[in-house]
Structure 1
Amino acid sequence: MAGVEHVISMEQTLSRKVERTEAGETSGGHDQPVIATEASEKLSIAVHEKVCTSPLGQRFKKLRDAGANQAETRPKIQKVVFLLREQTNFQKYYEPRVVSLGPIHHGKSKYQLAENYKLRLAQAFVSDSGKSDEYIYGQIEKNIEQLKEYFDEEVIEKYDNETLAWMLFVDGCAILQFIYFTVKNMFSELKVKNDQLAFAQQDLFLLENQLPYQLLKDLMKLSAKKKELKLGIRTFIDMHSMVPEKADSTTSSDKKTPIHLLDLLRTRLLGNSVDKTPSRKGPASKASKKDWQSFRNVLELNSSRNQIGAQQK
């Protein structure tokens, strides 16, 4: 606060100098008031910058930024919090087994085998789209700042825009083509083992393996098979939901774009209950907990079903 008071007192001193000049107390002409005013502005800025860059000023900035970030309502793609990481056997719900998607697990050696498959899937998507690979990539690169808003800053800070745009281009195209091949039963073309397919499908719904759904929408718009791809996603979600679709689910999904595929599956499983904010007490809260437990059980059951099916083929 002392720094602010100093700014005010200095400005008042220079302001009086201007008034005396205008009253004719000095003989420097009419240009002097302008010079004094400019000096006041420069001094004010200099002292203000000193306050902002001081250790205390930086603490206040961090405090205010925290309040601004709290106002954000859209969840972002981020790492699982450490409290969940400490839970036994919880790793399988957020860390992929076969293929990494997005920035969090990108580049890890244990996922390198799947990188070649992703490139082949991405190339197949480009071939079916009717557009060139350079054009599609260019559209992603053009929108990279918007797409970065869907990620927590921590998970993308080590990537420059070009690297991140290429990653999203390849992974996004690969996901859409993977889903298309799955619902069309066309994976024989890639000669992928059935157990790898089962784990890859599970990897698409893991917490730390998500891509912005907006990216998938942008890519579908660029493809000549837009309608087929959109229908493919709906069929793919139905394959993994194992519950009857609610009558109003289509209307609800049209109103709000999901955050990512996992969010789309969750919305499909829970229906309108995801749009409600129950109180912490009473039957509504118990129902909400029951819905989340059902959601988790469905994922576990579906994963087991995929693995058993793969072993039998």
Structure 2
Amino acid sequence: MAEDAKVAREAKLAQLLNQTFDHNNQISSTPKIQRVPLFWRQKTNFYEYCIPKMISFGPIHHGNENLKQQGQHLKSQWASLYIEEYSKEVGPCNGNKQEAANYLYGVVRYKIGELKELFAEDVIEEYSDEELIWMLFEDGCSLLYYMDHVDVQRPEELKLKLDQLMHTWRDIELLENQLPIKLLQLLSKTQGADLDYLLINFMSMGEAKRSGRTTITITYTPTRNHILDFVRSFYLQTEIGQNIPNQNGGNQTPPPPPPPHSSLFWQTYKNIRDLKKSGIRVKANKSDPWKWHNITFTSRWFSGELTLPLWVYDDVTPYFFRNLIAYEMCPDFRNSFECCCFFSFLDSLVDDAEDVKELRSAGVIQNLLQSDQELAKFLNDIGHDLPTKMFNQIYTSNAVSFSKKYIQVRHQIEEHYSSGWRTFLAETRSTYFSSPWSLLAFLGALAALILAALQTWYTIHPPKK
């Protein structure tokens, strides 16, 4: 028995010592298309926002019977219309729709080995190569047609009603509904800028095409793993660890966090209302207003100014934000949790509906949800369990280097907020100078005090005759 136990133990030790990470565990800036991480799938109130409700693209939800009744029919129609357009616009096909279909199918078939490498093994293992080729061919053609013809002003272009257009547009941005950009490039009528144009047209819900623009100049270098990745890069558009505008208008490199005994180590303000009481006002950033890194703080004698990027919160936002969180937490995706950092920062400013009201009044947000309380709850909900929650407040880590900017802004706010004399001046200003009537009352009271003092003086020291 002892000998058998020894042999078994040595076999286990040998197996343990020979363990290595396989290629599926490699971290890269081009992650595979995969399911939402298990951590979030186990949270049903989170994962329900990651499941398509009307249409599926790709292998993960392809077998969902609830999506086949209408979604599959729409995809087949769009794919057919795209092939027809392709046959007319691409020279070698000469208007022959069958020839165009054979060519596009053949392109996917020829590249299927490379395309399979862009998916996690567990999401394609149940499909044969033939099934996968057909799925990617049909889904890719239909998605390209959708991107080209989406128009919130004319949903009939896609044979949809407005509500259907909104639901399909939302579903296409979900993490588990992505198709690789490489597939879209293979099926696209032209390469390069043409696909970027379609991506921007999709993001703007047809505004790019509706405005008559035939080309779009992109002033940054977007990432293009898939549509969700492209949209994410649009809102970030910044160098990791970039310099931060200081209070004098220059630039400064983010300093290390203060030591634990420093007062700046502890955050004493809780929300937007606390900042308002200390004279800090919030306003919309007019320079690149949609870029999430565009946050600054300026401290003055009597007040402070926190500028924040704009955002319109609507029924799509809870889906979009949660899928960005899930994407950044995919185990093979190398990133600095840029979106998670921004969401943590928002969570640190908002406690309840009153804080949302302050942001709305300042023109920073437009709330199209049912109430300010619903938006506050949403921001608080997504703030839980984020990997950036700790590093977005007092600690820094190169793994979340994007948060250094937010940490610096928070330290600037804390320095202003914890200044007793600034708070006193702000409260005095708010009490006595916030309106013309309070100012007049203050001046009247001051004049009365001066006159009373003069009267007392002359009573004690009457002028000599």
Give TM-score, length-normalised by structure 2. Answer: 0.43
- Percent same amino acid among aligned pairs? 33
**Which residue is equivalent to 1:231?**
197
Question: Relative to total residues, which structure has the larger strand share, 1 or 2?
Answer: 2
After TM superposition, the structure 1 stretch with the greater mean CA deviation from structure 2, 193-202 or 179-188, is 179-188
CA distance in 2, matches of 1:94, 1:155: 16
Q: Determine the structure 1 residue equivalent to 2:105.
A: 137
Structure having greater relative contact order (Cα 8 Å, sep ≥ 6) = 1
What SS does the aligned partner of 1:128 have? helix
Task: Give the Å deviation of 1:159.
Answer: 0.9
Partner of 2:144: 176
Match of 2:234 among 259, 268, 272: 268
Q: CA deviation at 1:211?
A: 0.7
- In the TM superposition, residue 79 of structure 1 has moved relative to its aligned partner by 1.0
What is residue 306 of structure 2 aligned with on the other side?
A: none
Report the 3-state secondary structure (helix = DSSP H, G, I; strand = E; otherwise coil) of the residue aligned with 1:91.
helix
Q: 1:54-203 maps to which residues of 2 (within 5 A)?
A: 63-66=19-22, 68-73=23-28, 74-112=30-68, 113-130=70-87, 131=93, 132-183=100-151, 187-203=155-171
- Report the residue type matching 1:117 in the other structure: L
CA gap of 1:293–1:133, structure 2 versus 1, over 3 A, is: farther
Q: Tell me: CA distance 1:290–1:72, structure 2 relative to 1, closer, same or farther (3 Å).
A: closer
Query: By how many angstroms is 1:56 displaced?
Result: 7.8
Kept in 2, the 8 Å contact 1:183–1:232? The answer is: no
Question: Helix, strand or coil for the counterpart of 2:177?
Answer: coil
Which position in structure 2 is the counterpart of 1:291? 342
For the 8 Å contact 1:270–1:291, the answer to whether it is kept is: no
Distance 2:341 2:202 in 1: 24
User: Residue 37 of structure 1 aligns with which residue?
Assistant: none
Structure 2 CA distance, aligned partners of 1:302 and 1:195?
19
Indicate yes or no: 2:179 matched with 1:211: yes
d(CA) in 1 for partners of 2:368, 2:58:
21
Compared with structure 1, are the counterparts of its residues 166 and 186 closer, same or farther at alpha carbon in structure 2 (3 Å cutoff)?
farther
Listed one character per residue, the Cα deviations across residues 67-99 of structure 1 (whole Å, up to 9, x for unaligned) are x54444131111112211232421243210100
Query: Which stretches in structure 1 are left out of the alignment for 5+ residues?
Result: 1-53, 242-247, 306-313
Q: CA deviation at 1:195?
A: 1.3
Return the offset for 1:233: 1.7
Task: Mark the structure with the bigger radius of gyration.
Answer: 2
SS state at 1:90 partner: helix
Query: What are the Cα deviations for residues 235-283 of structure 1, in whole angstroms up to 9, with x where unaligned?
Result: 2224599xxxxxx953412xxx41110000000011125x569x9x859
| Deviation string, structure 1 residues 151-197 (Cα, Å, up to 9, x no partner) | 11010111111111111111111111011111496642553222111
Q: Is the 8 A contact 1:102 1:168 kept in 2?
A: yes
Structure 1 residues 287 and 64, CA gap change in structure 2 (3 angstroms): closer
| TM-score (norm. length: structure 1) | 0.63
| Structure 2 SS opposite 1:252 | coil
**Residue 250 of structure 1: aligned partner:** 219
Q: Give the RMSD, CA atoms, in angstroms.
A: 3.9
Cα distance change, pair 188–145 in 1 and its aligned pair in 2 (3 A): same
For 2:107, give the aligned amino acid.
Answer: Q
Which runs of 5 or more residues in structure 2 are unaligned? 1-10, 88-92, 94-99, 208-216, 243-253, 259-292, 294-335, 348-365, 371-465
On the 8 A contact 1:266/1:295 being kept in 2, the answer is no
Report the equivalent of 1:39: none
Alpha-carbon distance in 2 for matches of 1:215, 1:237: 19
CA distance in 1, matches of 2:186, 2:369: 33
Q: Is the 8 A contact 2:54 2:167 kept in 1?
A: yes
Counterpart-to-counterpart distance in 2, 1:155 and 1:122: 23
Structure in which a larger fraction of residues adopt helix: 1
C-alpha separation between the residues in 2 aligned to 1:193 and 1:151? 32
Correspondences of 1:34-45 after superposition (within 5 Å):
none
Q: Kindly provide the CA deviation profile for residues 102-139 of structure 1, in whole angstroms up to 9, marking residues without a partner as x.
A: 00011211011210110110111111112411110110
Query: Relative to structure 2, which stretch is displaced further, 155-164 or 282-291?
Result: 282-291
Quick one: structure 1 residues 69 and 230, their matched pair in 2 at CA, closer, same or farther if it must change by over 3 Å?
A: closer
Aligned 8 A contact 1:212 1:260 in 2: yes
Does the 8 Å CA contact 1:202/1:303 hold for their aligned counterparts? no
How many pairs were matched up?
A: 233
